[in-house]
Chains A and B, each alone.
Chain A
């Protein structure tokens, strides 16, 4: 991997704050110059530990109802507006291209009645949430990391704390919750766009819409959509959380913000794929089909 896993919160966050934000790496020199396997491993473990603490505290804040509805709505609309366009483009074209290949093969080998269902099944279970998640990570995750990162380096996060406003409550919780709520919506939009895109190219290659939709109806179940939405919720949570975490761990001025933003995208995408494998295993393991 080309990026170094690090869990260091900024010096600003280093004050002992067991309630809110994890105390993080004490000695940056080891994690930065870390070549040894054990240092890398401990870096990863610390990152995991920090995320777990942040996740837990975010969850508590959310459950306590400590988020202002205004902050939440603002974040939800920002995420929706930011990511929607990317999602539309990515999923429509993926669906279209996917169907292009599938329909040609189908016409040649005679399985036209499986095209629509096959593509829809893949979109509901996998491509919808994953493509939507990657789009969200690239667009909104990066924006969140950059925004929080620049607030850290310009001492705005310190200003919040000095005014007894918890950055966790004011910055992290609304973003994580907004990502968690918006991600399933984006996944549904992904599904719809993917199906529409694929239907058009299928038709151009000889699979009629009626055959296409009939195949979707027979091969897919509501549980496929539901499984995809479960994934999407988890992805949304992970994206929101790691983007905020990377933002909060920013140090070193404008360069630091750039690094945190890149790190956030890499981290989110890696997490999406790891989580995808795990959830897919769990969902197919327990009575899925």
Chain B
């Protein structure tokens, strides 16, 4: 059975249909990239997958549990298995980098009784910071970080909870190409380590073709293509062709 199964998902806000009959099946341990023009509904889709936005209709099965229509409390059980990396980081700006990263871990371990020791947390944070190439940043406040740095802390924060599913919203946008490749590698190693199922929203074609097992193309709230990177290269779908062509040298016009 697929780890994530989206069936006939519709999301409407007053006067506008943002997602239109989305169908997607994602296998455990797969990395699926979602691409699409700005405003095509990529962020909205990720927020639906974590239950942050309520679907108008359809179903979303995460690990076999349909999260559409669940109460916030029931959703929280599913959310313990998922991590979301926000497009604009969404760090808690009253907490420093360290406290941002351990936030989820400490909050949840407190309620379950087994509190990880300070030394254990310190080690976890320094490992995560090394992985996102920001070693020694523990004491910084979010306002003292650049946009790209904030985003990488956001990524570290999501991974700290060791989720089985990770949803990345444009993890490499705004990063230089070298750091962007490091993040690609991190996404791959994260997957390899624990069979983490990953959904990556991205505009970065180089990264998409490097990391993806499958690619979904969103156009105005619809999935117009879903297939492997090879299939994408050969695809006759207009939007896919235009996306790929736009990155080729000399094809800008």
Is A158 a contact of B69 with CB atoms below 8 Å?
Answer: no
Which of B54, B82, B107, B108 makes the CB contact (< 8 A) with A162?
B82
Cα(A232)–Cα(B15), bound, Å: 45
A68-B110, A158-B47, A164-B79 known; A16-B69 Cβ under 8 A: yes
Q: Which of B70-78, B172-180, B208-216 interfaces with chain A?
A: B70-78
Inter-chain CA distance A153–B16, complex, in Å, is 21
Partner of B14, one of A17, A28, A162: A28
Contact with A along B8-22 (1 / 0, CB 8 A): 000001110000000
Bound together, the chains give a CA A166 to CA B47 distance in angstroms of 16
The CA-CA distance from A158 to B70 in the complex, in Å, is 16
A15-58 CB mask vs B (1 if < 8 Å, else 0) is 11111110000111100000000000000000000000000000
* Contact mask for chain B residues 71-107; partner A; CB cutoff 8 A; 1 contact, 0 none: 1110111011011101010111100000000011001
Residues of the A chain whose Cβ atoms lie less than 8 Å from the Cβ of B79 = 161-164
Interface status of B140 (Cβ within 8 A of chain A): no
Docked Cα-Cα span, A166 to B71, in Å, equals: 12
Closest B residue to A162 using CB positions: B84
B71 adjacent to A12 (CB under 8 Å): no
Name the interface residues of B1-50: CB closer than 8 Å to any CB of A. Answer: 13-15, 47, 50
Q: Given A11-B53, A158-B86, A159-B86, does the pair A165, B104 have CB atoms closer than 8 Å?
A: yes
Residue B51 is within 8 A (CB to CB) of chain A in the complex: yes
Q: Are A155 and B90 in contact (CB under 8 A)?
A: yes
Q: What's the nearest-Cβ distance from chain A to residue B154, in Å? A: 8
- Which chain A positions have C-beta within 8 A of B110? 68
- Does B224 sit within 8 A of A, measured CB to CB? no
- Asked if B124 lies at the interface with its beta carbon under 8 angstroms from chain A, I say no
A154 located at the interface, meaning its Cβ lies under 8 Å from any Cβ of chain B in the complex: yes
- Does the CB pair A15–B88 fall under 8 Å? no
Do B52 and A15 have beta carbons less than 8 Å apart?
Answer: yes
A210 interface contact, C-beta 8 A: no
A227 within 8 A of B: no
Cβ-defined partner of A158 (8 Å) among B72, B90, B104: B90
| Chain B nearest Cβ from A159, distance in angstroms | 4
On whether A158 and B52 interact (CB within 8 A), knowing A164-B80, A164-B104, A164-B108, the answer reads: yes
CB contacts (< 8 Å) of A14 on chain B: these are 53-54
Which chain A residues lie closer than 8 Å to B70 at the CB level? 16
A165-B72 in contact given A15-B52, A155-B90, A156-B90 (Cβ < 8 Å): no
Q: Which residues of A contact B84 (CB under 8 A)?
A: 159, 162
Q: How large is the interface on A (under 10, 10 to 19, 20 to 34, 35 or more residues)?
A: 20 to 34
Given A29-B14, A165-B107, decide whether A18 and B71 contact each other with a Cβ distance below 8 A.
yes
Q: Is the CB of B107 within 8 A of A17?
A: no
Chain B residues with CB under 8 Å of A15's CB are: 51-54, 72
Report the Cα distance A18→B75, complex, angstroms.
Answer: 12
For A27, the closest partner residue in chain B by CB is B14
Smallest CB–CB gap between B70 and chain A, Å? 8
**Which partner residue on chain B sits nearest A168 by CB separation?**
B72
- Which of A14, A16, A20 has the most chain B CB atoms inside 10 A of its CB? A16
Please, which residues of chain B bring their CB within 8 A of the CB of A162? 50, 52, 79, 82-84, 86
Would B13 and A11 count as touching, CB distance under 8 A? yes
- Assembled-state Cα–Cα distance A18/B108 (Å): 22
| Separation of A166 and B74 alpha carbons in the complex (Å) | 12
Contact partner of B72 (CB less than 8 A), chosen from A19, A68, A159, is A19
Chain A 142-194 interface residues, beta-carbon cutoff 8 Å to B: 151, 154-156, 158-159, 161-166, 170
A21 contacts B72, C-beta separation under 8 Å: yes
B132 within 8 A of A: no
Known: A11-B13, A29-B14. A163 touches B104 (CB 8 A): yes
Q: Is the CB of A17 within 8 A of B71?
A: yes
- Chain B residue at smallest Cβ distance from A167: B72
The answer to whether B188 has its CB under 8 Å from any CB of chain A is no
Contact of A156 among B15, B73, B92 (CB under 8 A): B92
Q: B161 contacts the other chain (Cβ, under 8 Å)?
A: yes
**With a CB–CB cut-off of 8 A, which chain B residues contact A165?**
103-104, 107
Are A163 and B161 closer than 8 Å at their CB atoms? yes
Interface CB pairs A-B, < 8 A, 8: A11-B13, A21-B72, A158-B52, A161-B51, A162-B50, A162-B52, A163-B161, A165-B104
A-B contacts besides A156-B90, A164-B104, A166-B72, 14 pairs, CB < 8 Å: A12-B52, A12-B53, A14-B53, A18-B71, A19-B73, A29-B14, A154-B93, A158-B52, A161-B52, A162-B50, A162-B79, A163-B79, A163-B103, A165-B104
What residues of chain A have their CB less than 8 Å away from a CB belonging to chain B? 11-12, 14-21, 26-29, 68, 151, 154-156, 158-159, 161-166, 170
10 shortest interchain CB distances as A-B pairs: A17-B72, A15-B54, A155-B90, A164-B76, A164-B79, A159-B90, A163-B104, A20-B72, A162-B84, A19-B73
